[in-house]
Structure 1
Amino acid sequence: MRRFWKTTAALSALTLSAACVPGDPVYRGFYMEAGTLDDPDFGSSIAHNAAIQSGEKQYRIDLASRFAAEVDTTVNFTFNSAQLGPEARETLDVQASWIRQFPEVRFKVYGHTDAVGSNDYNRQLGQRRANAVVAYLMSRGISRSRLEAVVSYGESQPLIVTDGRERRNRRTVTEVSGFIESHPTVIDGKYAAIVYREYVASGTAKTGLSSIKGSDFATEK
């Protein structure tokens, strides 16, 4: 019995020592300080907090909501095709017009497919569709540097869950992804001025018009 307990204790100690190595998350959680620089998510947390404190994240969300509300962000494709039809080009013309109003803002284009075909093929097809949208937006004067990334989800995120052909799943979606870091207006933290730029301009124009009318009336009197 004594030998049994000694063997069990030895095995337990060996298991514990094997588990408590520097790379083990439990070891790191107990024995390393919070926020240590070898934490791969630490930089992401800092960036997130900085964006919250500066207001950038909230304004990015506000701008993304406005884009989705004011513009059709989705274009659809025929089966097994990455060609843009007339309706898709018309939608992208409206997207490009909206995007040109905000030169400080970056966008992502996400490609999707229906479930017909293999996963690998559909990822490639989704990529081709996203590439086609990016190329068209560039032809309408949008800089490639502002189209931050082109992402393909293939068939993994269907709008309509079905194994068959479904046009609504064969799509791309354009979304606001962030601000251009080098832009001086953004660095100054004036995100609200970007988001509400045309509202301010329209209000200023009306104020100026009222002033002119007022002076005309004064002259006539």
Structure 2
Amino acid sequence: MISATHRPARKTTVARLMSGAAAASLVMALTACDAPILDGGRELGWQLDEDGHFGEATRNNIGFHTGELQYGEILAERFAAEVPTTINFAFNSATLDEEARAVLRQQARFIRHFPEVRFSVYGHTDLVGSRAYNQRLGLRRARAAVDFLVSQGVERSRLEALVSLGETSPIVATEERERRNRRTVTEVTGFVQSHPLVLDGEYARIIYRAYQGVSSD
């Protein structure tokens, strides 16, 4: 039989052990908060940033509620309807011929008319040659188009994304030489965030602005 004089000591020991266990549990819980929750071996939410666009989901959500995305799509459709968006190239070349220059002049007039808007130029090739070489060639074509647009008075800062898709997005699925695949495409990217009309959310005033284009110089 354990004497009464020893019971408090035992209770103190048990209490200490319990306190130690509780502390260990707390440490484990806090550590677990820092550990990633995995989905198939990857952190939850990884697909929201799969292409390296951190915060893209949040931006898209904001853009939807402010109307930026909607008006951006409308303006993109208007640009494609009123101006030729595509130029073509000779085989294995990034040189602009006169036909390409005429199209780019039309694009430049439209772009200058909408200083609140950003654009991208995508470079493409046909399927002749290696993928790595075609990637570089597509970028050279995109840069040639952008340089010409800048020479026509377009701010380079609004032509923000030079992108080469190389041979990955052909119009005609053939491994032979195909002029229609050797191209650049200019597209509306979005709005210049520092512009006063954009800050005020007056996207409608931008996209419905009167514009009279001409087919050639």
Larger radius of gyration: 2
Matches within 5 A, 1:188-203: 188-198=200-210
Which SS does the other structure have where 1:197 is aligned?
coil
1:24 aligns with 2:38: yes
1:158 aligns with 2:158: no
Alignment match, 2:134:
122
- Per the TM alignment, residue 42 of structure 1 is displaced from its structure 2 partner at its CA by 7.5
Residue identity in the other structure for 1:22: P
**Structure 2 length-normalised TM:** 0.75
**Structure 1 length-normalised TM:** 0.74
Which SS does the other structure have where 1:192 is aligned?
helix
Alignment match, 1:167:
179
- Per the TM alignment, residue 165 of structure 1 is displaced from its structure 2 partner at its CA by 0.1
Mapped to 2, the partners of 1:24 and 1:186 lie a distance apart of 39
Mapped to 2, the partners of 1:130 and 1:23 lie a distance apart of 41
Alignment match, 2:103:
91
Structure 1: stretches of 5+ with no match in the other structure:
1-20, 30-34, 200-221
Residue identity in the other structure for 2:195: H
Could you report, residue by residue, the CA deviation over 1:29-56 in whole angstroms, capped at 9, with x for unpaired residues?
Answer: 6xxxxx8xxx757722221111011111
Mapped to 2, the partners of 1:149 and 1:90 lie a distance apart of 22
Could you report, residue by residue, the CA deviation over 1:72-113 in whole angstroms, capped at 9, with x for unpaired residues?
Answer: 000000000000000000000000011111000000000000
Alignment match, 1:214:
none
- Per the TM alignment, residue 195 of structure 1 is displaced from its structure 2 partner at its CA by 0.4
Residue identity in the other structure for 2:87: V
Paired residues, number: 172
Q: CA RMSD in A?
A: 2.0
Which SS does the other structure have where 2:126 is aligned?
coil
Could you report, residue by residue, the CA deviation over 1:114-152 in whole angstroms, capped at 9, with x for unpaired residues?
Answer: 000000000000000000000000000000100011000
- Per the TM alignment, residue 23 of structure 1 is displaced from its structure 2 partner at its CA by 4.8
Structure having the larger proportion of residues in helix: 1
Structure 2: stretches of 5+ with no match in the other structure:
1-34, 212-217
Identity of aligned residues (%): 58
